[in-house]
Amino acid sequence: MEANSANVELQSKTVTKTPSGFSVVWREIVRDKLALLSLIFLVGISAFVYGTAIVLDQEEIVKVDLFAIYEAPGEEYILGTDYGGRDIFGQLIIGTRNSLSIAILVTVMTGFIGVVFGLVAGFFGGHIDNIMMRVLDFFNVLPFMMIVIVFVAIVPKYSVWTFSLIMTAFLWMGIARLIRSRALQEKELDYIHAAKTLGTSNIKIIFKHVLPNISSLVIVTMTLNLAANIGLESGLSFLGFGFPESTPSLGTLLSYATNPQTLEYRWWIWVPASVMILLLMLAVNNVGTALRRATDARQRRG
């Protein structure tokens, strides 16, 4: 009896587990030094901006100080001040936090809507799919920029939340389309048929079977979307449709560069914000590509 159980022990140990999803991802990131560095950078920056934002007094930072206009970086202001005498370094921190928050909110919300929409359309197919795809096409042909600009103009005081919601309304279609086409393929696989023959309801099949099996696609797409969404707020602010000055953001800092004087002589106002946007986008993108490689065995490095 004892020998028997020992034998079982031994056998179970010799069965090698093929690496699970998470360890594959981890291995891929560690192997790709750039992705690892990017990840460390992202975690560090996020911890820093969300951490200091708690102790920083936003009111204090956005308060106009006429005696400290356009100060160059120095002892009192590490990164100098803007035309209202406001601390650039503080604005950079709060701006990074706001831009990151928007990017994350928009990514999560578009991801949620896109995934549910795509799964339902793809899985049920037929008339349901037809109708849903027409709805999607409708959103696609709406003049996105124009509507956002009008909205920004008529809503007097909008926040990170309202901004993210408007953006979400126009940015969920890409991921919905992608998920739909994967769901269309996935639902023809035998394990889905097998689940049906057990009497599993469609909703359960969608969320218990299809979703987990396309989760790597969801994660990779959302990461790459996150990179794109970081530049979202900056682009609009640069065009002059950004946040009010009471809400510092990377885009506002960047838009100071539209003033030729600032562009040429007061680099400290816009360079740090530009570098921050660039670094954030690159870093998220690097992590995203490593994730994509990890989920695609053909591209994997090891």
* Alpha-carbon gap, residue 176 to 63, rounded angstroms: 43
What is the Cβ-side half-sphere exposure of residue 193, based on CA atoms within 13 angstroms? 4
Least spacing, CB of residue 173 vs another protein, in Å: 25
Least spacing, CB of residue 179 vs another protein, in Å: 17
* Alpha-carbon gap, residue 65 to 59, rounded angstroms: 12
- The b/e string for 128-162 (b: 16+ C-beta within 10 A; e otherwise) is ebeebbeebeeeeeeeeeeebeeebeeeeebebee
Least spacing, CB of residue 29 vs another protein, in Å: 21
Give the residues lining the site for another protein (CB under 8 A). 8, 11-12, 15, 17-18, 124-126, 189-191, 193-202, 209, 212-213
Nearer to another protein (CB atom), residue 37 or residue 194: 194
Nearer to another protein (CB atom), residue 4 or residue 246: 4
Least spacing, CB of residue 183 vs another protein, in Å: 13
Least spacing, CB of residue 206 vs another protein, in Å: 13
* Alpha-carbon gap, residue 257 to 240, rounded angstroms: 12
Nearer to another protein (CB atom), residue 20 or residue 246: 20
User: 84 burial class (0-12, 13-18, 19+ CB within 10 angstroms)?
Assistant: middle
SS3 87: strand
Nearer to another protein (CB atom), residue 41 or residue 124: 124
Nearer to another protein (CB atom), residue 129 or residue 245: 129
